Structure 1
Amino acid sequence: MLLLILLALPLTAGLLLPAARGGRCPVVAGVLAAMGTLVVAVAVAVERPAGQAPLLAGVPAGFGVDGLSAVLVVLVAAVLPACLIVAAAEPELRTGRFSGLMLVFTGAMLATVTATTLAPLLMAWEVMGATSWALIGYRLDDRGATRAANVAFLTTRTADLGLYVAGGALLAGGAAAMALDDTATLDGGWLHLAVAGFVLAALGKSAQLPFSFWLSGAMRGPSPVSALLHSATMVAAGGYLLLRLAPALEAAGWAGPLVAWIGVVTALLMGLVAVVQDDLKQLLAASTCSQIGFIVLAAGTAGTQAGLLQMVAHAAAKSLLFLIAGLWLAALGTRSLSGGLRGAAHRHPAVGAAFTVAALALAGLPPLGLWVSKDAVLAAAAATSPALYAAGLAAALVAACYSGRALWWVWQPAPDNGPHRMRVPMTATAVTAVLAAAAAGAGLLVYGPLSLHPDPAPHPGELAVSAVLAAVGLLIARRWAARTPAARPPTPWLRLEPAARRGIARPVLRLAALLARADDQVLARVPERAAHAVLTLARHTDGHGERAVEGAVSGVADGARALGRAARRPQTGQLHQYYAQASTGFILLGALAVVVIVVR
């Protein structure tokens, strides 16, 4: 029952809210529904219920909460009300459509993390993709946002085809219920095919290389959308799926190392992309790809608890940073660090202090949350491969550089011609303070009731090395922040989108045009020629066959009339003729009987 309430509450409220009139009503109703979802999520995390419902013949819809999904359920439900409260500071977001989409998206995400079989996960995954498209393109008059929503949707949908491949492999391999835990038990090629499908879908949803480019355009959406989708939900869904399937990755053999290297390379390269971004939201987006890369690295090295800890710490810090970026955009009308955001922290010290805590946490500075989680991931990498560990340390250094660069700009002296003070609602300020505390203390979860104890745990020496690297990265950023060449917007991230257009979109379109031409010039002629043959046969039948049929019918009729005339001849009405006819008949019958007896 608790699971049903958890899923039904945000979905039902989200479907009803678009009918609400503007003003405070949809905002208040959305926040109340979000808070109610959070309360139910906490109860679900404590009780950890599980159950199944019939869906198709032999294919149940399974839902359940365990140690992994319990953390995600609370995390997703906790970020939602914070995003809705801060979104109320922007007049264009005080609508039932916005609150409803956010609630439906959250309901789909909750269904994704609690699904234990592939069928409901796939349905929730699709709803999540559709609502993310609507949220990124929320501003209907912004063609850039609409295009970005289309790119994000098509890119992730392309990768999502892997889930259908995985489902087919599960069925063919004998896992008729399509339980996610059954993936590791498949035999032979079905195991490798299912794992390949899951990995493809997860990398696309989490914006890992080579799919990272869609997240850049997604920043055209409202900042509260970015805070929800790109901190704890959509991009985290891929990482969660890989953590859930870590035993299957290990069973496949090749999948674990591949996933680990994709994660660490994404963390390093997208961190370098973040370093040169002048647009704050672009910096945060690239850093999201980078930080999610650590979660993917943990999944590839069987560091499930470390990856989960990283997911929580990153969600707390990144949701706060995105929300503050939205507040600054609404107040100052810019996202440029070297432009209007120069000195933004001075104009509202409370928000600036929260931004500082989150940025330092993102840099991995002790004792903040990401310092512990990142080192837990690196400890799992070190136990697998020294090369992975070294690449992870390099990515951690880069993370400190881009975090420090953002801090340096927002704490510079504010220009004289800029606004002296920002207008930020008290409710939004309170939310930033709560999230700052969460970002600072996320590392304490290793000692809390959730028991997120990474195995292997980082050694004190590894923690010290990581702390030194974070400090060095911040010092580098402080010295070179103003000299770092900023990318000119909208410079593509590593030119991945143009490469995708040339390497995938154009060949697919050309193939589609070729197939359409073949359909028009080859396949379409088959029914045309068949139709022509039928018409020719019809004309032939009409010209010749009809006369033959009419002649045959006329012949039958003439024969019937002749037989009728012959049958009337014996009917003379004279008794002696009838007697003669009967005698003839009896003689014939007697002769027939004699013949039969003789033959026998």
Structure 2
Amino acid sequence: MPLVLLVMLPAAAAVVLLLRGRRTDAAAPAIAVAVAVIDLGLAIVAAIARPSAEVTALNSIPGAVAVDGLAAIAMVTVAAVFLAVVVFACGDIGRGEARSRFFGTMLLFVAAMFVTVTAVNIFTLLAAWEIMGATSYALIGFWWSEPGKARSGLIAFITTRSADVGMYVAAGAALAAGAAGLNLARLDEVAGGWRDIALAGLALAALGKSAQLPFSFWLSHAMAGPSPVSALLHSAAMVAAGGYLLLRIEPGITATGWLGPVVAWIGALTALLLGAVAVAQRDLKQLLAASTCSQIGFIVLAAGVGGVAGGATQFVAHAAVKSLLFLVAGAWLAALGTKNLLRLRGAARTHPVAGITFTVGALALGGLPPLSIWVAKDQILSAALPASTALYTVGLAAAALSAAYSAKALAVIWTRPASVAPLDVRAGRIPVSELLPLPALAIAATVLGVLGVPPLAAAWSRTLGTPDAPTSPPWEFAMSATLAVTVIVLVVWWQHRRLTRSDELVADTAWLRDWLKMEAGIDVIVVRPIRALSAWCSRFDDRVLSQAVTTVGSAVLRLSRVVNARLEWAIAAAVAFVADGARRLATAAVRPQTGLLHQYYDQAIVGMAVLVAVFILMR
């Protein structure tokens, strides 16, 4: 019952708000907050009770959800972040901004997310995955009437949908593999090629949703949505769902033998390259978006090397940290009218509550020990070290970049404005509802580091049903901590110095700022060839096929006319011939009818003679 209510309550509230429309705008925030509070309670109850439920759709399609250790952690994380986001949204989404549509879509989105994290079989996952993707498109393009907003949502939707083809391939392969293939936890038991096809399809869909290379650029466009949407999608929901799925199917990934290294390297390279992209950004929300790709890359790396415990820690820690940072960025955007880093100089001094909580989140994001993400990254790097020294080195470099972009943001928000114009304070103070969730998230970003304490780390692994996370060697522990502290201190000092002297940002490289030109590359490699092929097919259809059909049709029409004329003449001639023959036969038949009796006798004698002759010949 808690699991069913956990999904049905936000779904039912969403249906009411979306159907009632503007008539429920005034009540929509209160309804959303109430549902979020109840859902958090239900998530905690379900995490303790570990329930399950099964349904059958259309008498043949199985659907099942269940709560195991990983799902319990994800459920509570999603519910807690959702509550923080909707409380913030009560102040961020104004009275004239279709609140029913916004909160209704958010509720439907989170209901789909709950099904996603608890799905047992691939059909249940596919249904929830589709709803989550559709509602994310509606949320990113929420301000559809503004120039570029709908296009941004469409780019995000089409890019993730392209990767979602893998989910359908996986569903087909799982169906062909039988009952074991349908269960996400039993994919490693499937023999033959169907297992590899199903897992490769799931991995492709997960990498697309999590904005890993080469799909990362869509996350830049997702910044067109409202700040609460960015906070939810980037922290614990849609973008994190891809990494979560890879952790869910990790036994199958390991069983293939080849998919694990592929997934691990994609995650490590995304963490490294998108970390560099984040360092180069001038826009705070773009910096946070690129950092999301980078941080989710560590979860993907964990799934590839079998570090499920570290990946789950990263999932939870990243949810708290990134939701906090996006909410603060949204608060500054609303209050100060800008998200440009140079224009945000001194924002932490102008709004101290937001500034202090942002500082805590940024330090955690940068991997400062003993905060939460430092613990998670250390667990993941410890799992990667035995698998590949090269993977470990790339992961360590990505961790250094995490410290660099976090330090860059910190230096900007605490440096006093000099030659740059003062901050725009037109909107006044940040509403209390926007400030309310920030301290709680900052505390979570801090205290989740206790998951690295050995007794708690062992309990965490047992909850997940995995072997204990490998213990970091002392040298690795010291090196990662020293690296994070050193990079943060150096970048803060360097960035502060550049700002006070020349109003410049570190690593301000256009190529990196444009997200490695990935969108342009995809346009050249994929979009333009497809458009060219489509244009050629259109011309072929219009000029060749259409002309051929017209020519053949004309020829058939002319032939039918000729055949019709000749057929009509032949039929008329045959009818005339039969009629003439009948007329002649009738005339001949009348001639013996003379009326003379002796002629009748003569005719009878002749007839009898003919019959006798025929009889004799027949014998």
In structure 2, distance between residues paired with 1:532 and 1:192? 53
Deviation of 1:519 after TM superposition, in Å, equals 2.6
- In the alignment, does 2:463 pair up with 1:451? yes
Is residue 2:379 matched to residue 1:376?
A: yes
Kept after mapping to 2: 8 A contact 1:17/1:30: no
Question: Does the CA-based 8 Å contact 1:270-1:290 persist in structure 2?
Answer: yes
Equivalent-residue separation in structure 1 for 2:6 and 2:614 (angstroms) = 94
**1:397 Cα deviation from its structure 2 partner:** 1.4
AA matched with 1:108: A
Say which SS state the counterpart of residue 142 (structure 1) adopts: coil
Residue 431 of structure 1 pairs with residue 437 of structure 2: yes
Say which is worse superposed, 174-183 or 15-24, in terms of deviation. 174-183
Q: Structure 2 counterpart of 1:388, which letter?
A: L
Q: Out of 128, 132, 140, which is 1:128 matched to?
A: 132
Change (3 A) 1:451 1:123: closer
Give the aligned partner of residue 479 of structure 1. Answer: 493
Aligned CA distance change for structure 1 residues 214 and 539 (closer, same or farther; 3 Å):
same
Q: How many angstroms does 1:590 deviate by?
A: 12
Query: Of residues 199, 206, 209 in structure 2, which corresponds to 1:202?
Result: 206
Residue 16 of structure 1 corresponds to which residue in structure 2?
16
User: How far has the Cα of 1:211 moved from its partner?
Assistant: 1.1
Paired AA for residue 230 in structure 2 = S
Distance 1:529 1:361 in 2: 72
Task: Give the 3 Å change call, closer, same or farther, for CA 422–536 of structure 1 in structure 2.
Answer: same
Residue in 1 that maps onto 2:3: 3
**Residue-by-residue CA offset, 1:569-594 (whole Å, 9 max, x unaligned):** 99999xxx999999999999999999
* From 101, 108, 120, the counterpart of 1:97: 101
The 5 A counterparts of 1:151-230 are 151-174=155-178, 178-230=182-234
Report the 3-state secondary structure (helix = DSSP H, G, I; strand = E; otherwise coil) of the residue aligned with 2:63. Answer: strand
**Any residues of structure 2 matched to 1:340-489 within 5 Å, and which?**
341-413=344-416, 417-418=422-423, 423-445=429-451, 447=456, 451=463, 455-459=468-472, 461=474, 462-482=476-496, 483=498, 484-487=506-509
**RMSD of aligned alpha carbons:** 3.4
Cα distance between partner residues in 1 of 2:81 and 2:546: 55
* Residue 180 of structure 1: how far off its partner (Å): 2.4
Shift of 1:493: 0.6
Per-residue Cα deviation, 1:416-456 (whole angstroms, up to 9, x for no partner): 94468951222322211111111112233563788357733
Contact 2:240 2:315 in 1 (8 A): yes
Q: Is 8-17 or 320-329 further displaced after alignment? A: 8-17
| CA distance 1:560–1:69, shift in 2 (3 Å) | farther
**CA distance 1:539–1:458, change in 2 (3 Å):** same
Identity of aligned residues (%): 50
Query: Is the alpha carbon distance of 1:587 and 1:519 closer, same or farther for their aligned partners in structure 2, counting shifts above 3 Å?
Result: same
Is 2:284 the partner of 1:271?
no
Q: CA deviation at 1:182?
A: 4.3
State how 1:14-163 maps to structure 2 within 5 Å. 14-18=14-18, 19-20=20-21, 21=23, 23-55=25-57, 59-90=61-92, 91=94, 93=97, 95-163=99-167
Match of 1:536 in 2: 558
CA deviation after TM superposition for structure 1 residue 496, in Å: 0.9
Q: What is the rounded CA distance, in whole Å, between the counterparts of 1:592 and 1:563 in structure 2?
A: 24
Q: CA deviation at 1:502?
A: 0.8
Alignment partners' CA distance in 2, 1:252 and 1:586: 101
In 1, the alpha carbon distance for the partners of 2:533 and 2:322 equals: 41
Quick one: distance in 1 between partners of 2:101 and 2:603? 100
Deviation at 1:323, TM superposition (A): 0.5
Moved more, 557-566 or 141-150: 557-566
Q: 1:521 aligns to what?
A: 543
Q: Give me the whole-angstrom Cα distance separating, in 2, the residues matched to 1:384 and 1:11.
A: 43
Q: 2:181 and 2:394 mapped to 1: Cα distance?
A: 40
Q: Is the 8 A contact 2:91 2:433 kept in 1?
A: no
Deviation at 1:206, TM superposition (A): 0.6
Q: Does 1:549 align with 2:571?
A: yes
Q: Aligned pair in 2 of structure 1 residues 394, 585: CA closer, same or farther (>3 Å)?
A: farther
Greater shift after overlay, 536-545 or 48-57? 48-57
Tell me the equivalent position of 1:287. 291
Q: What whole-Å deviation, never above 9, does each CA across 1:342-392 have from its counterpart, x for those lacking one?
A: 111122222222111111111112221112111111111012112211221
Q: Which amino acid in 2 is paired with 1:183?
A: L
In structure 2, do the counterparts of structure 1 residues 550 and 224 end up closer, same or farther at CA, with 3 Å as the change threshold? same
How far is the alpha carbon of 1:117 from its aligned partner?
Answer: 1.9
CA positional deviation for 1:253 = 1.5
Aligned partners of 1:239 and 1:295 also within 8 Å = yes
CA contact (8 A) 1:306 1:454 kept: no
Shift of 1:312: 0.7
Give the drift of 1:463. Answer: 2.9
8 A Cα contact 2:309 2:469, kept in partner: no
Instruction: Write the distance in 2 (CA, Å) between the matches of 1:277 and 1:497.
Output: 16
In structure 2, C-alpha distance between the alignment counterparts of 1:589 and 1:363, rounded to whole Å: 123
C-alpha separation in 2, matches of 1:432 and 1:359: 13
Give the residue type in structure 2 aligned to 1:373.
A
TM-score (norm: length of structure 2): 0.87
After TM superposition, give the deviation of residue 553 of structure 1 in Å.
Answer: 4.5
Q: Normalization by structure 1: what TM-score?
A: 0.89
1:555-575, Cα deviation, whole Å (9 max, x unpaired):
5566678889999999999xx
- In structure 2, the CA distance between the partners of 1:479 and 1:180, relative to structure 1 (3 Å rule), is same
AA of the residue aligned to 1:10: P
SS of residue in 1 equivalent to 2:182: coil
Query: Aligned-pair distance for 1:524?
Result: 3.6
Letter in 1 for 2:214: P
Give the aligned length. 596
Return the offset for 1:283. Answer: 0.9
Structure 2 unmatched ranges of 5 or more = 499-505
* Partner SS state of residue 235, structure 2: coil
